[in-house]
Amino acid sequence: MKQLLKAPILRRAAGLALVSVLSFSLVACGDSKEETTGGSSDDVAKTEVVLASTTSTQDSGLFDVLEPEFEKAYAQYDIKIVAVGTGEALELGRMKDADVLLVHAKADEETLVQEGYGVERKDVMYNDFVILGPAADPSGVGGSADTPTAMAAIASGKAEFVSRGDNSGTHKKELKLWDAAGITPESDWYAETGQGMGDTLKIASEKQAYTIADRATYLNMMDTLDIEVVFEGAPELFNQYGVIVVTDAANQDGGQAFFDWVTSQEGQAIIADYGVETFGQALFTPNAP
């Protein structure tokens, strides 16, 4: 009886393992098939351009208009957008896993080009950051005369502050603002998500906490959030985006094509229009030289 008892269990376990392995490989097969058949609907052989950008740019929805317009202008290219933190986006450039970068950490971007990983860098557009918090504004951030005062009000800790904490462009900006206010934000009112802008906004809203976000992502998610703008418009909250072509990337020509297009009149006009219809205001201000 004891022998009887063991065998079916083992057989079931083995069967279970087999089923899971099979289903994984099926999924994998499905994926690769899609890759090979999906792109070839046109007769033109398309080459892939990998654009590494940030989650906040993707969350803003800008790529949903940029991508189709670019592919219309350059039918030979199929653009793949990889949205990660600024830190990883720059790393993808260093490792030549991306052909072109669209990020917002100007000092780091210039270093990347100086180190020879990027061919050239240009300003593309800017937007601004806003400080968000619960409507009741328990820490009284709203009445602040300038950004350092606003940061000091948050640091009174009457409500939590939720930080990206992921070394992203937005996180770096936030750290600069704390620094300028002479505050070290290491306290029980300070939470770090290590996640993207959209997730961090949701967490701040759930916790009825303060946070800093780029206006584009905030406007996109406004309807689902229970926090609102409490401080805005100060010069320190300015957010410059740059585009960089990666040196010796797999498809450097494609990267260059996107670089030229997004800084051209055509690309800049699309950026200037984006958001006007949906939000009543443009989310980005184009400023390519």
Partner 1 sequence: MSIYVDSAKEGYSLLVSGGLDVWSIIATSLRVSLSAVGIALFVGIPAGYWLGTRRSFGRRAGLVLANAGMGLPPVVVGLVVAMTLSRRGPLGSLGLLYSRPAMVAAQVVIAFPLIAAVSAAAVSSVPRELRLQARSLGASALQEAWLTLRECRMGLVAAVAAGFGSIISEVGAVMMVGGNLRGETRVMTTAIVQYSRMGRYGAALALGAVLLGMIVIANIALTGMQTSAERWERG
Residue pair 245/99 in contact by the 8 Å Cβ criterion:
yes
For partner 1, the closer CB: 91 or 236: 91
For partner 1, the closer CB: 223 or 277: 223
Nearest approach in angstroms of CB 111 to partner 1 is: 14
Rounded (5°) CA angle 191-236-267: 100
Residue entry with tokens 């609907």: 41
Q: Which residues contact 226 (CB under 8 A, 6 or more apart)?
A: 134, 135, 205, 208
Structure tokens at 169: 């462009």
Paired sense of beta strands 161-163 and 77-84, if any: unpaired
Nearest approach in angstroms of CB 163 to partner 1 is: 9
Q: Per CB under 8 A, which region of 36-44, 159-167, 249-257, 271-279 contacts partner 1?
A: 159-167
| CA–CA gap between residue 243 and residue 253 (Å, rounded) | 14
Contact flag: residue 191 with partner 1 (CB under 8 A): yes
Query: For partner 1, which residue of 34, 64, 146, 206 counts as binding (CB under 8 A)?
Result: 206
Query: For partner 1, which residue of 39, 140, 207, 272 counts as binding (CB under 8 A)?
Result: 207
Paired sense of beta strands 211-214 and 285-286, if any: unpaired
**Residue window 163-182: x/- pattern of binding to partner 1, with contact defined by CB under 8 A:** --xxxx--------------
Contact flag: residue 157 with partner 1 (CB under 8 A): no
Contact flag: residue 269 with partner 1 (CB under 8 A): no
For partner 1, the closer CB: 84 or 130: 84
Nearest approach in angstroms of CB 87 to partner 1 is: 4
Rounded (10°) angle between helices 169-180 and 147-154: 90
Query: For partner 1, which residue of 61, 194, 250, 287 counts as binding (CB under 8 A)?
Result: 194
Nearest approach in angstroms of CB 191 to partner 1 is: 5
For partner 1, the closer CB: 9 or 145: 9
| Residues within window 81-140 making contact with partner 1, judged by CB under 8 A | 84-85, 87-92, 95
Residue entry with tokens 């899609």: 34
Q: State how far the alpha carbon of 177 is from the alpha carbons of 11, 128, 129, 236, 283, in Å.
A: 61, 13, 11, 8, 22
Residue pair 213/132 in contact by the 8 Å Cβ criterion:
yes
Return residues touching partner 1 (CB under 8 A): 1-2, 4-6, 8-9, 12-13, 16, 55, 84-85, 87-92, 95, 165-168, 191-196, 199, 203, 205-207, 226
